Amino acid sequence: MTVKFHTFDNFSALSEALSQQWLEVIQKTPEHDTASFALAGGSTPAPVYERLDQLLSGTTQHNLIKLVATDERWVADSDQQSNEGLFRRCLSASAKDKRWQLISLKNPSSTPEIATEAISARLNEQLPDAFSAVLLGMGTDGHIASLFPGAPTQHDELACLAAVHPQTRQSRMSLSLPRLLNTKRIWLVITGAEKRQVLDHAQAENLPVGDLLREAGCTIDVFWCP
C-alpha cells in the first residue's frame, strides 16, 4: 500500500484540488458504467462537496453517480447531525439535475442493530462491487467512518455494522472496513497538526486508520492542510 500526501496552504485550495480530481474520476467512468462514491460526514468535507456540486452543475454527464455515506448517525434526515442530510444540502444543485442517487444507510428500524441485515442487502443490491472512490475523514482518536478504536470493524460478512460513538454514545451505522476497502481510490481528508500526528503514529498505536493503511489495496491519497 502507498500513501501519497497532498499538502495545501488552506482548505479552499484542498477542496478545489480534490473536487477537480473527483470530477475527473466521474468523467473518465466508461459510458453506461456507474460511478460510486462513499462520503464521510462530520465537519470537514462539506466545502469539497459544495465545490463538486458547482463543478457537476457545469458539465454534461453520461452515467449515473451513486453515493453512500461511509457512516450515518441514526437520526432523522432533518437532524443537523445527519450526514445524508449534509450531502443533500451540499450537493443540492446537482441533485436538482438528478446527477446522483443516494443509497441510504438508514431505514425506519428503531436501532441500527435491527437494520444491519436489510441495509447490507440494500448496499449489495444497489451498489457496484467496488467504489470508484471512498472519501474518508478521521477523528483525533484515529477513527474512520464510525469504526472506533477497540470496536469491531465488521459484523459477520455484512457490508455494514452498528456502532456507538464512544463519547456521545450516539448510535451509528457504518460501512464495514472490508466494504470501505473495496474501492479503486481512497481519499483521506484531514486538517491540522494533531490529525497529522495521529496519522503518522496510527499503525504503531493500532488505530482504525492504521488498519486502513495496512489493508488498503490501492494508493491512499491524503489531502492535508494546516
Q: Footprint of ligand 6PG on this chain (CB under 6 A)?
A: 40-44, 70-71, 83, 137-139, 143-145
Q: CA 106, CA 173: separation in Å to the nearest integer?
A: 8
Q: What is the separation of C-alpha 176 from the centre of its chain, rounded to a whole number of angstroms?
A: 12
CB of 30 to ligand 6PG, least distance (A): 29
Quick one: how many helices (H) and strands (E) in the chain?
Answer: 8, 10
In the complex, what is the shortest distance from the CB of residue 159 to ligand 6PG, in angstroms, rounded to a whole number?
A: 16
**Cβ proximity to ligand 6PG, 29 vs 185, nearer residue:** 185
Q: Is 207:177 a contact under the CB 8 Å cutoff?
A: no
Q: Least distance to ligand 6PG from the beta carbon of 123, Å? A: 16
Nearer to ligand 6PG, 97 or 215 (CB): 215
Give the nearer residue to ligand 6PG in terms of CB position, either 83 or 94: 83
Residue 79: CB minimum distance to ligand 6PG, A: 12
Which residue is nearest to ligand 6PG, using beta carbons? 137
Burial 44-72 (b: 16+ CB within 10 A, else e): bbbbbbbbbbebbeeeebeeebbbbbbbb
Lookup: cell for 129: 462491487
Q: Which three cell numbers, joined as nine digits, stand for 32?
A: 453506461
Pick from 119, 116, 134: which is nearest to 177 by CA? 134
Please say which residue, 53 or 71, places its beta carbon nearer to ligand 6PG.
71
| Closer CB to ligand 6PG, 64 or 149, in the complex | 149
Q: Please return the burial class of 94, using the count of CB atoms within 10 Å of its CB with bins 0-12, 13-18 and 19+.
A: buried
Least distance between ligand 6PG and beta carbon 58 (Å): 27
Shortest Å, Cβ 149 to ligand 6PG: 12
- What is the rounded CA–CA span in Å between residue 70 and residue 58? 26
Nearer to ligand 6PG, 70 or 94 (CB): 70
Among positive and negative, which fits the CA dihedral 157, 133, 146, 72? negative
